[in-house]
Amino acid sequence: MLSGSCHCQRVKYEVTGPIQSAQHCHCHTCRKIHGTVFGSSAVVDGTVFRVTEGQDHLVEYESSPGKRRYFCSTCHSPIYALQADEPEIVVLRLGTLDDEPDQKPSRHIWLSDKPAWYEVKDALPQHETN
């Protein structure tokens, strides 16, 4: 089991099953939301993800058609996202994990949106889109 939380600890969650995949996303939206050069996220089955504390502190908004992002209303840490056409999948923000997952990011996606001033230096596969 993995546990995670927002920065202020008002929102806590657990993941009781495996991470299906993990990646570094360089899309414009992930860069803006995370305030950095890419966002690291993991895909987990919705049946193994559960908010254990602070459900009332979560706020959400539709960042693109059919995609809802969930944040702590106090510290604004991005916690997870849901896609309307895949409601069984949770896209979890890896930086909010309190435990170390076994699964590490396996690729970079949306390199077409990567800023010119950043150079990917690891050996992970790079994809222009998803």
pLDDT tens, residue by residue, 80-116: 999 999 989 999 999 999 999 988 999 999 999 999 9
Q: Which of 108, 105, 106 is nearest to 130 (CA)?
A: 108
pTM for the whole structure: 0.90
Q: What is the pLDDT of residue 42?
A: 95
Handedness of CA 46, 56, 13, 92 (dihedral sign): positive
3-state helix, strand, coil in the chain (%, to 5): 15, 45, 40
- CATH architecture group of domain 2-113: Beta Complex (2.170)
Every domain of the chain and the residues it spans: 2-113
Q: State whether residue 128 is helix, strand or coil.
A: coil
Q: What is the pLDDT of residue 130?
A: 84
User: What CA–CA distances, in Å, run from 111 to 24, 37, 120?
Assistant: 10, 11, 9
Q: What is the pLDDT of residue 56?
A: 97
Q: Which of 104, 66, 103 is nearest to 87 (CA)?
A: 66
Q: Which residues of the chain have pLDDT under 70?
A: none
Q: What is the pLDDT of residue 78?
A: 96
